[in-house]
Structure 1
Amino acid sequence: MSTSLFWFRSDLRLHDQAALRAACTGGTRHLLPVFCLPPLDAVTAWGFARMGPARQAWLAAALGELAQQLERLGCPLLLCAGPPSTTLPALASALGIDRIVCEQIAAPQEQAEVAALRAAGLDVHEVWQSSLLDPAALPWPAAGLPATFTPFRQALEHAAIVPPAPLAAPASLPPWPPGAVIPAHLRADLAALASVTGDPRSSLQDSAGHYTGGERAGLAHLARYLARELPQTYKQTRNGLSGADFSSKWSPWLATGALSARRILAELRQYEARHGASDGSYWLWFELLWRDYFRLLHLQYGSALYRARGLGQQPLGPHNGEGFARWCAGRTGEGLVDAAMSELAATGYLSNRLRQVVASYLIYEVGGDWRAGAAWFEAQLLDYDVYSNQGNWLYIAGRGTDPRGGRRFNVGKQTADHDGDGAYRQRWAAPQS
């Protein structure tokens, strides 16, 4: 083969890119890097846009940075319009390409995209690369994954499983196929994606201003976080509700793949070698393992995680559509929940603690379908990750692997514990109508 089409998905970076490396081997002389902009008019089964403005803007920044890096390597990024299932076969046909290489994503819609490409006669080579750990190097096959997180973590730590070292970014890439002519109707540009003005109340800001997507920004943020020795206090501050430093804020870059988990851990281990390990640095490893666990659950259960009953046996009750609409709008009458939903709408971000509180409130107090809540988070969160989003909603709803039957948060207690002075509620109070 002489030309490979590399399809960027949730891996918008050059460092630690096993899939991109695979695309450049096996006789590849020419490379066409492609990203398919999602249809921005797509709506969920619940009737709202699938990707909101904050997520669009973060994606645009990540793609802009990636395009600049690839341009410098002499292999520009091609932005295409339309769903991959139709766009990529049309592009491959126009250019005489039959090999596509991409990241493997073990979620139903993403798997359906690959199946459609293969049905169109294309040779699609998938490479698993989004997790910290290599699934093939674990003490169990995917079907034997421990049923809950704690024995999973304990077994890994007991076996001293070490993640693979992150790969360096390529110093060069093969050029585009000579004379490549891209049909105009397949091309897209970043102007199609929304731009947003940062809210000064947002937790996604630093001393220089608001954070932005992209690999360089993500690596710079990681370096600053470690240089300021913030892992030392992470365990004590991780349940905070707002501010730049209470949590790592790695998730936005992890979500688009602008940062790899393996690069993060490698630098965290270097930090521990210099400053010593602490409860906080351990808890960052702990959170990265949770991220991996949700990925491995997808390898084990696949589409079963997306059923109304999830992995459980109990049927789902009726969905309270009116209550769901009030929850989305931050008009439930519950101060902490409404403030949180206002922050989410304004910034595309919400602390982990509040994500759990508002999810619990929708499921147990409003009587909303957990899948509707998961879809709303997908639309709103700029750090949306298909694995973690689904895993966390299943966890709160009691429809995942946890035998304890869900997590119902007492909002009054959460308010007293985490916003006793009312500062967060005042910060995000909805305007009176």
Structure 2
Amino acid sequence: MVEGHAEVEITKLIKQHKISYLACSECPGTYEKQQLNKLREAAPHLTILQENTDTLFNQFDLPFELPDLPKHFTPFRKKVESLTIDAPLKAPDWLPPPPETATQNFFSIQTAPTNSPLFKGGAVEAKKRLNYYSYQSQKLLNYKQTRNGLLAFDDSTKLSPWLANGNISAKEVYHHVKRFERDIQANESTYWLYFELLWREYFQWYLYKHGTRVFQFSGVKGTSPLTSFWPERFEKWRTGNTPWPIVNAAMRQLNSTGYMSNRARQLVASCLVHELNLDWRYGAAWFEQQLVDFDVAVNWGNWQYLAGVGADPRGHRRFDLEKQAKQYDPDGSFIKTWLTHQEIEQMTASKIDSTDMVDWPC
């Protein structure tokens, strides 16, 4: 392992060890593509072999050309959900010994401690989690009913960090679920995990199609939201000090663990865009920095969706935060986990903006 900027450190290794071939996964992210182009420029002799390892389907499997990707998820789902998904390739039985230089310590690496105590990296841990959630605990059978839970770790699969980091593939998860359906039971919940994988899939192709437009203020729709940027409001949102305890608890959880549930992500995004009237890109960028399961396509695609500039056919998905808190945290357990009683009282009585005499014009 090496530490540093990918294009810089990989270029050093290529030149130092006269490497002529590089194999890597294809990524829809524009920044990642720029990194690869810099590598090509720095090492023009290098042959780069790319394979799409992150999606359920290859582009030539799709029943439409990429420019014709449906504008919304549901038409996409209806077109692809019955398609055959190739089984992942089996790991080789053996590998030849590595070259002598591969065993050298190229750099002294200082491993930084993770800020998330919830997850251990690696393919072995990913498969452990998948087996636990399906065959061992059979919590998969209730996934649809529990997936919006805010507090319990097993409310959802929690596979997203391993998917985002390439420790397990969407194909592996899909075929594992199909095997579980044959061995144990198929129900609405087992289908719903596939349904959620299709959402993830849609955003991958969404980014492949739209490129840099996914990161622009006006989004894919080209319509600018009626938002601006107030540093004080963003700081309150970022640190979990808004007038909405449900939002604050979720942001405290994110900042402490690097994770928050799907439902919580929708609520805090709705708050930033529709209650605080802030530029959605700041929220997406903060998630990118904090999330242990950051996926460029899923993160920015979902933020566009909530901001009304992306793939949402309704275009203005605003959540009633008090109603959502009563529905998904009826006894306040989630909020009380991350906020003290005194903080809850103070936040509920607080205002979005603080004003004093110096704020008023002369």
Shared fold, TM over 0.5: yes
Higher strand share: 1
Q: 1:265 aligns with which of 174, 177, 182?
A: 174
2:305 aligned residue: 395
Corresponding residue SS for 2:154 = coil
Shift of 1:188: 4.5
Identity level (%):
38
Q: 1:180 to 1:166 in 2, by over 3 A?
A: closer
AA aligned to 2:66 is A
Question: Quick check: 1:115 aligned with 2:25?
Answer: no
- The structure carrying a bigger helix percent of its residues is 2
**Equivalent residue of 2:2, what SS?**
strand
- Residue 135 of structure 1 deviates from its aligned partner by 2.1
> How many residues are matched?
339
What do residues 264-283 of structure 1 show as CA deviations (whole Å, max 9, x unaligned)? Answer: 11110011112231010010
CA contact under 8 A between 2:115 and 2:256: conserved in structure 1? no
Deviations, residues 261-317 of structure 1 (Å, cap 9, x unaligned):
111111100111122310100100100000100001111111111112111222353
- Could you say if the C-alpha distance between residues 238 and 94 of structure 1 is closer, same or farther in structure 2, counting changes exceeding 3 Å? same
Tell me the TM-score normalized by structure 2.
0.88
Corresponding residue number in structure 2 for 1:56: none
Q: Which amino acid letter does the alignment assign opposite residue 417 of structure 1?
A: Q
Match of 2:207 among 259, 282, 298: 298
Check the 8 A contact 1:294/1:388 in 2, yes or no. yes
- Aligned letter for 1:349? Y
Counterpart of 2:123 in structure 1: which amino acid? E
Is 2:224 the counterpart of 1:224? no
SS in 1 for 2:76: helix
Task: Tell me which residue corresponds to 1:41.
Answer: none
Q: Name 1:214's counterpart in structure 2.
A: 122
**Could you report, residue by residue, the CA deviation over 1:396-428 in whole angstroms, capped at 9, with x for unpaired residues?**
011112232131111011011111211111111
Distance 1:430 1:214, change over 3 A: farther
Distance 1:360 1:179 in 2: 51
Asked if 2 retains the 8 angstrom alpha-carbon contact of 1:253 and 1:259, the reply is yes
Gaps of 5+ in 1: 1-78, 199-203, 205-210
Distance in 1 (CA, whole Å) between partners of 2:260 and 2:201 is: 21
Query: 1:133-282 to 2 correspondence within 5 Å?
Result: 133-157=57-81, 160-179=82-101, 184=106, 187-189=107-109, 191-196=110-115, 198=117, 204=118, 211-227=119-135, 228-282=137-191
CA deviation after TM superposition for structure 1 residue 173, in Å: 2.6
Cα distance in 1 for partners of 2:293, 2:101 equals 38
CA offset digits 1:85-142 (Å, max 9, x no partner): 2222221111111321110101111000111111121322211110122221110121
Greater shift in the superposed pair: 120-129 or 266-275: 120-129
Give 1:218's aligned amino acid: A
Runs of 4+ in 1 over 6 A off after TM superposition: 180-183
Q: Identify the match of residue 51 of structure 2 among 127, 135, 139.
A: 127
